[in-house]
Amino acid sequence: MKKSIVHLINFRNHEKKEKKKKKKDKEKLKKPAKDISALIDELAYVNENENIRKSKKFLDEMYILSQE
Q: What is the pLDDT of residues 15-60, one digit of tens each?
A: 999 999 998 888 877 877 778 787 777 776 767 677 777 778 887 8
Judge if 24 and 46 occupy the same domain.
no
Which domain covers residue 3, as residue numbers? 1-31
Judge if 4 and 27 occupy the same domain.
yes
For residue 7, pLDDT over 80 is answered with yes
When divided into structural domains, the chain yields a total of 2
Beta strands in 13-59 (DSSP E): none
Judge if 40 and 63 occupy the same domain.
yes
Question: What's the rounded Cα separation, in Å, for the pair 61 and 67?
Answer: 10
Judge if 20 and 41 occupy the same domain.
no
Question: What's the rounded Cα separation, in Å, for the pair 9 and 23?
Answer: 21
Judge if 13 and 45 occupy the same domain.
no
Judge if 40 and 67 occupy the same domain.
yes
